[in-house]
Amino acid sequence: MVCCKFRQQLALVIAARTEDSKNDYGLAVTEAMLLPALEGSSLAECFSQGRLFTVDLGLMHGLKDVNGHEVVAPIGLFLLNRSGELTPLAIQLFQRPGPDNPPVTMEALWGIIQGMKPSSFEGPDGLSVKTIQTFFDGFGHIVLDLVTASLETGTVPASWKHATITPIPKGKLISSDPSSTRPISMLPAITKITERAVQLQLAEYMERHHLLSETQHGYRKSHSCETALHVVTDDILRAMDSGEIALWAMVDLSNCASRTMDHWLDRCTTMGAKGMQAIMTKGLSRYRLDKHGSIAREIHSRGVSGRDRLPRYGYRDSAQPLHRLLHAYVTSVITHYYPTEDKIRQDHEIQSWWKDLDRQVAGVPGHHNRGFGCVEEIADTVTCLISICTIEASALSNPSYDQMAVILSYPLKLVRAPPTTKDFLTVEDVLSYLPSREVALEQLVTAQMRSAPVTHPLAQYRTAYTYDPPALEALEELREHLRVLLGRLQQQHKDTKLPYTALDPDRVVNFPRVV
């Protein structure tokens, strides 16, 4: 029962492990520690049989809760036992790189320091970059330990944030008037080195995985404010030449959430409003529409697309057919309006939409020069966006009340820092981590609202939006296929110990819930 429940809660992050990837996870376990739970098999045999899976929430690594505590970023190793259930082998609350795999190597650190300007100005620590360059052979290992510790723990010591401020004359004349000088802040040399290490790692990662949009001009080689202004000016002139209206919208995301929602998140969740925004920012930096937006491709990337690997996986068995039905429907409608590729290329509005999407998210189907080129690229994009707002939104919201009804099983908020040892906890110890009764009630009410039955499920609308006969025909065909899929899933539920009903077609929303 526990295994089935755990599979439901972590349906979106289960990934298969193979022999090639067996060292990819950061669990501090050995084969000897795991052997008693492997049902008489060796670790190599479990790998070859495809029976090992991980749940890795590394996205949470380095984030802080509302009280400034580091939140857990768990990673778990699971075995598909002979009964077809996922059973936990090892669960680790935090992710830490091993000492033999530091975030920065000695060679990379020397490259960073050697490339810095040999300034003799000293910060509050009394060290200059030039001094570290000169004596690196003697204490370079100490610098490496400091930088590595900062990156591993995700913290910057308070002393590293202190700067020596020196007034520099604005002109040639020296004056006692403060307004004739400009302040220069000299941070400690170790701070500059760490900042450079982080900047280089981030830039290299983003470039290697093609996560930066072509319109990203800040903090990139061969890009600057001048190139950004050139692109914006060129877009405006092109729009004017085409007789279109050009609007320039500048968005400040710092206050994107309402104060009411911010208050609820701070009161009822461990992460709080700022923590949630940090999770979204971190997640979007890794997101690709062509991979993560396509349910089939995303599940395949985790190695759990086939029943031969994971026989009972409710999310996969419901989400994949739903995505296929949506794709068929979208393709049918788009083919009606765009019978030829020339019509797609000549539609400036849809090509402009592609550019807008490409500026905001990586991996939009299409070509970076011409945009959409065929029906398949448009259908893939539209289907991904619809499935995010319907299938994936329902997979997250529908099980909410089932998961959170027992606060001990799925607490949204911990009022203390998470445990870092395996010491025995009494009942009083466990309860001391939980929020007050008033907060727990708010959590349950919200979870119940998120899980409430939908009045207008997928493809059933309160107001008619489709009137064109071919589009109406495609919509009716989608509704019929959804009814057939619902019947098949309900029949499967009868033979399942703990059925996964979150994505039954009559429970899938047409749009994300507000609460």
pLDDT in tens, 259-270: 567 888 888 888
> Any idea of the CA torsion for 150, 156, 159, 160, to the nearest 10 degrees?
80
396 vs 104, more confident: 396
Which of 35-39, 317-321, 439-443 is least confident? 35-39
Q: pLDDT over 70 for what percent of the chain?
A: 87
| Confidence category of residue 236, pLDDT binned at 50, 70, 90 | confident
Q: What average pLDDT does this structure show over 192-208?
A: 81
The DSSP bridge partners found for residue 437 are none
| Confidence category of residue 250, pLDDT binned at 50, 70, 90 | low
253 vs 417, more confident: 417
**Residue among 294, 267, 482 nearest 385 (CA):** 294
SS3 90: strand
Q: What average pLDDT does this structure show over 308-325?
A: 92
What is the DSSP annotation of 407-461? TTTS-S--SSPPP-S-----HHHHHHTS--HHHHHHHHHHHHHHTSPPSS-TT--
Structural tokens at position 447: 């979870």
Q: What average pLDDT does this structure show over 310-322?
A: 92
H/E run at residue 109:
helix 106-114
Looking at the predicted structure, is the pLDDT value of residue 12 above 60? no
Q: What is the pTM of this model?
A: 0.62
**Residue among 260, 295, 298 nearest 387 (CA):** 295
**Residue among 172, 190, 169 nearest 180 (CA):** 169
**Residue among 141, 136, 147 nearest 106 (CA):** 141
Given this model, what pLDDT does residue 6 score? 35
SS3 187: coil
Structural tokens at position 327: 């794709």
| Confidence category of residue 370, pLDDT binned at 50, 70, 90 | confident
Give, in order, the Cα–Cα distances in Å from 110 to each of 144, 204, 400: 9, 17, 50
Tell me the backbone φ, ψ of residue 150, rounded to 5 degrees: -65, -45
* Per-residue model confidence as pLDDT tens digits over 144-172: 878 877 876 778 888 888 888 888 777 66
First vs last Cα of the chain: how many Å apart? 29
Going along the chain from its start, the domains and CATH numbers come out as: 2-92 (3.10.450.60), 106-168+182-208 (no CATH), 289-399+451-507 (1.20.245.10)
The DSSP bridge partners found for residue 362 are 288
- Please say whether the beta carbons of 457 and 506 come within 8 A: yes
| Confidence category of residue 103, pLDDT binned at 50, 70, 90 | low
The CA distance from 377 to 393, in Å, is 23
Contacts of 501 (CB under 8 A, 6+ apart): 398, 489, 493, 507
**Residue among 298, 343, 318, 278 nearest 503 (CA):** 318
Q: ∠243-248-253 over CA atoms, to 5°?
A: 150
Looking at the predicted structure, is the pLDDT value of residue 237 above 70? yes
Given this model, what pLDDT does residue 7 score? 35
Alpha helices (H) along 127-188: 129-134, 136-153
Structural tokens at position 284: 């979007």
| Confidence category of residue 415, pLDDT binned at 50, 70, 90 | confident
Given this model, what pLDDT does residue 395 score? 92
Looking at the predicted structure, is the pLDDT value of residue 382 above 60? yes
Looking at the predicted structure, is the pLDDT value of residue 309 above 90? no
- Please say whether the beta carbons of 86 and 6 come within 8 A: yes
Helices (H) and strands (E) in the chain — how many of each? 21, 6
Given this model, what pLDDT does residue 1 score? 27
Q: What average pLDDT does this structure show over 54-63?
A: 83
Given this model, what pLDDT does residue 97 score? 45
| Confidence category of residue 252, pLDDT binned at 50, 70, 90 | low
* Per-residue model confidence as pLDDT tens digits over 110-137: 888 888 888 777 878 888 888 888 888 7
* Per-residue model confidence as pLDDT tens digits over 445-466: 888 888 888 888 998 887 777 7
Highest mean pLDDT among 201-210, 234-243, 477-486: 477-486
Sheet of 86-92: strand order equals: 14-16, 52-56, 75-80, 86-92
**Residue among 138, 132, 142, 141 nearest 107 (CA):** 141
**Mean pLDDT score across all residues of the chain:** 81
The DSSP bridge partners found for residue 92 are 75
435 vs 179, more confident: 435
Looking at the predicted structure, is the pLDDT value of residue 467 above 60? yes
